[in-house]
Amino acid sequence: MLEAMSDFYTWLREVRCTTVREAAERFSVSFASVRKRLKRLERRGVLERKAAGRVAVYCLREGAELPPPRRGVGVKTVQRAERVAELLAAEGCMSTSALRAALGVGHSSMRYVLTLLLSWGRAAEVVVGKTAIWCRDRAAAEELVRRLRDAVHRLAASNGFRYVTPSKILRAAQMDKEAYALFSRFIPLSRFAGDRLHPVALSFVDSILASLYGEPVIYAPNRHVYFAAQPRQGLGGIVIRCGTDVEKVEVSLPSDLAEALRGADAEEVVLQAIEQLLARYA
């Protein structure tokens, strides 16, 4: 929309005068949309309307300057963003659904506000499985990830799980007061009809297990089994995004390929791969 307004103003400066039909055909928009825009500029004293027979012609007034397209965020959106920032400052981290409930807004509106806060550097997003959690800053996000990892590892160790699945951890969390209080802030711990665990909760715990213990020893549809060994350091498959971050992509390479690439010129390897693909599909 902003790009369209900018193009419209640039064109109007060049032609100086236009009719509703000319502008509508030039930008492939409805007559009503163009008429509304031209009348708004007329009310602001930028354009003057002249009659050419039965046709209205809108021309730039002498010495008048077209205003730049509005790029600000609405007052209501800013107020919502400030309210979300206050909630995150008080709570540290909250799920999208919890923020929606607190403000009483829909998913699209909430996502827009959160994206603004992220771009302003006033929030951090933690993606755990299919769950998005919002924190006041990166430090709070990293602390949350540490607590989640510690809770899962504690449940595995205290229950003597040598091999562990997401469902085992969730059932253990339902019986553990501390873990229940932590997990229930972000995922549904109640079961579906038929004693089935919530898929969002299973995805959430599966992501934490992968960050702790690496790849599952059994990777079958709806059944990931992990060897509960000493937990790894780092975030693993959990993603933290901040407004100042540069997005990174992590890939897993087979051991033989990783060894072959060790010490190689990465740029040269990529160029060779592109050349081979072009040759193959020429």
pLDDT reported for residue 232: 81
**Can you give the residue range of the structural domain that contains 250?**
75-277
Distance between CA atoms of residues 185 and 172, nearest Å: 16
Token reading at 152? 């899962």
Average pLDDT in the 158-182 region?
Answer: 94
Say yes or no: 178 and 262 in one domain. yes
Say yes or no: 199 and 124 in one domain.
yes
Domain-ending residue, one of 35, 60, 85? 60
**pLDDT the model gives residue 259:** 57
**105: domain CATH number?**
1.10.10.1490
Tokens of residue 172, six digits: 């253990």
Cβ contacts of 59 within 8 Å, gap of 6 or more: 16, 17, 47, 48, 50
pLDDT exceeds cutoff 50 at 147: yes
Do 21 and 105 belong to one domain? no
The mean per-residue pLDDT over the stretch 189-216 comes to 85
Q: Say yes or no: 52 and 161 in one domain.
A: no
Q: Which residue has the tokens 């012609």?
A: 57
pLDDT at 166 over 50: yes
**Could you tell me which residues come within 8 angstroms of residue 58 by beta carbon, excluding any fewer than 6 positions away?**
17, 18, 19, 20, 38, 41, 42, 47, 48, 49, 50
What pLDDT is recorded for position 233? 74
Q: What is the mean pLDDT of the chain?
A: 81
Q: Which of 96-110, 137-151, 213-227, 228-242 has the weakest average pLDDT?
A: 228-242
Least confident of 102-106, 153-157, 161-165, 218-222: 218-222
Mean local confidence (pLDDT), 86-109: 92
Q: How much is the pLDDT for 231? A: 84
Highest mean pLDDT among 24-28, 215-219, 221-225, 249-253: 215-219
What is the domain count for the chain?
2
Q: Are residues 139 and 267 located together in one domain of the fold? A: yes
Q: What is the pLDDT of residue 246?
A: 38
Of 134 and 31, the structure prediction assigns the larger pLDDT to: 134
Which residues neighbour 69 within 8 Å (Cβ) at sequence distance 6 or greater?
A: 2, 5, 6, 9
Whether residues 232 and 93 share a domain: the answer is yes
Question: pLDDT band at residue 220, thresholds of 50, 70 and 90?
Answer: confident
Residue 19: strand, helix, or coil: strand
pLDDT of residue 248: 41
pLDDT above 90 for 71: no
Which of 3-17, 39-53, 61-75 is the most confident on average? 39-53
Q: Does the residue 65 lie in any domain?
A: no
Question: With 60 as the cut, is the pLDDT of residue 118 above it?
Answer: yes
The pairing of beta strand 218-220 with beta strand 223-227? antiparallel
